Homo-oligomer: A and B are copies of this chain.
Amino acid sequence: MTITITAFERSPDGGKGLARDTRVRWALEEAGRPYAVRLVSFAAMAQPAHLAQHPFGQIPTYQDGDLVLFETGAIVFHIAERHGGLLPDDADARARAIAWMFAALSTIEPPILDLTIARIVEADRPWALERLPLVRDRIRRRLDQLSERLGDADWLDGGFSAGDLLMVSVLLRLRMSGMLEEFPRLAAYVARGEARPAYRRAFAAQLAINAPPTG
């Protein structure tokens, strides 16, 4: 059975690896699973055929035989549950790694996405500049707590897990903001994630689509 995921035909970030298919590619690379990619245009994402796979008209989706999944967190968890390398064997450690998966997507990412709303979606609104420091301070509060918990450890709870995969992916969204550098432990943590061979393969695969070599 071939695993097929969907990705943007042309990612809005031009290949910086921030589209969510990179997270799923990374998980599949950590698990050592081959996969196929089906590219979808923005027009196609709003069509019934895609909405049948993803009710919110986004990417990525994941298909393996009869199973069709949406939501990056659920896809990464599904991969982690079925293959080695992404969740610890010990039951308590596994539950804590899953807690970090939810923390990345429900506690850390929302204020970071709010920065995208403030800087891009509402960029032409009269309040755009004045509101930005509030949004950034809400992110800083979470980063401060996260940095405190990470301390001098390499990963959030013992060895690298799907929780780290999602947390690093979420923090990567802050690269352009300069905020990561305010938290050296988190900057080093993200760098450790990016240095993993599986991440590098995932990044290269999405880059090849979004910024194909010219000439």
Contacts and interface: CB of A to CB of B under 8 A. Distances in A.
Interface string A99-130: 11111011101100110010000100111001
Nearest to A75: B99
Size band of the interface chain A makes with B: 35 or more
Given A98-B78, A146-B55, A105 B105 contact: yes
A47 interface: no
- What is the count of identical protomers in the complex? 2
A71 B66 CA distance: 31
Interface string A149-181: 100000000000000000000000000000000
Interface of A: 51, 55-57, 66-67, 69-75, 77-78, 92, 95-96, 98-103, 105-107, 109-110, 113-114, 117, 122, 125-127, 130-131, 134, 142, 145-146, 148-149
